[in-house]
Every structure is written in C-alpha cells, then in structure tokens.
C-alpha cells in the first residue's frame, strides 16, 4: 500500500532528519533519496556533503532538480524528496510558471508510490521586498496546501521535534 507524508518546518528545524528516519522505518526496501539541489556554491556543497555522510548507504541517492514525475515513476521503492522547496526554486529559475509546476506536482501526487515530501515553511516570515521572492513564497504556500491535502500524514517540525498534524 502506498503512503504519502509531508514534513514541513523552518530551515534547520530537523525536518529532513526526521523525514529520513520516517522513510527508513516505513520502507520494506532500500528507499530512494531524491536530491533536488541544483545550484551549488562552496557553502551549499558542504551542506550536501554533510547530508550524504549522515544518510551514508541507507538510501539510494538520485539527483534530479526538475523532472520529479519521470524519476519517481521509475522508482521501485519508496521515495524521499529532499526538498520540494529547492525543486520550486529550480523550476522558477528555469522559467517554469505556477501552472506547470503545479501540474508536475499533481502528477507526482497521483502516482501509486510511497513518497515523503520535505518542504520549508516559508509562510511565517515577513513579505519580501522583491517580486521573485514573493512569487516563490506564494507558490510554495499554495503547493504546501496541495501536498498536505493529498498526504496521509503531515508533520510540522520545530527544534527537531516533528508533531503529526494530520
């Protein structure tokens, strides 16, 4: 039986680690870690390397910054998407609009696959002073609602503690 879950929280809240633990606990086979980070500077590379060390060989890692549906459709085990926020960023950077981003995500949500989504909660801050940042926040907020409504379980993470809210 496929099951979908969302881990949402602020940056460095512990949502990724808790999503990894959840995915491992609920997978009968070695799960897929779908890494979406595309834009890497030295600091981001260090973060990516730290994440790789922490998960060691417990996951099979696939790096895909844009085509979530095609990648997940081919997976034979549960998938952890780390993270939807970076994927939205990538899609906007490459010129995709909200409707295209939403369609891709709806296709992913329709798959009969066990998927764990990780998403930054960006709706608790101030309204940014630039249009692109506002667009990102608007899209992220709308997509977080779409994901949450389609998931069997939703967890909000603060200070390393994930609380089930759905």
List the CATH number of the domain containing 51. 3.40.50.300
pLDDT band at 37; cut points 50, 70, 90: confident
Q: Which residues are catalytically annotated?
A: 51
Express as a percent the part of the chain with pLDDT over 70.
Answer: 97
Q: Are 117 and 147 in contact (CB under 8 A)?
A: yes
From residue 39, give the alpha-carbon distance in Å to each of 75, 87, 101, 145. Answer: 24, 11, 18, 26
> How many structural domains comprise the chain?
1
pLDDT in tens, 39-78: 677 877 777 677 776 767 889 989 899 999 999 999 999 9
Domain limits for position 147? 4-164
């Amino acid at each position: 039986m496929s099951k979908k879950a969302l881990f949402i929280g602020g940056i460095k809240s512990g949502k990724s680690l808790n999503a990894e633990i959840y995915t491992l606990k609920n997978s009968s086979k070695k799960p897929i870690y779908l890494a979406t980070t595309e834009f890497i500077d030295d600091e981001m590379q260090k973060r990516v390397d730290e994440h790789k060390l922490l998960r060691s060989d417990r996951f099979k890692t696939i790096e895909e910054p844009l085509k979530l549906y095609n990648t997940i459709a081919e997976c034979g085990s549960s998938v952890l998407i780390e993270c939807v926020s970076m994927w939205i960023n990538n899609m906007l950077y490459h010129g995709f609009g909200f409707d295209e981003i939403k369609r891709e995500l709806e296709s992913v949500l329709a798959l009969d696959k066990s998927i764990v989504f990780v998403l930054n909660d960006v709706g608790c801050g101030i309204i940014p002073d630039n249009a692109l940042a506002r667009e990102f926040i608007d899209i992220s907020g709308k997509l977080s609602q779409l994901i949450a409504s389609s998931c069997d379980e939703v967890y909000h993470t603060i200070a390393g503690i994930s609380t089930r809210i759905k």
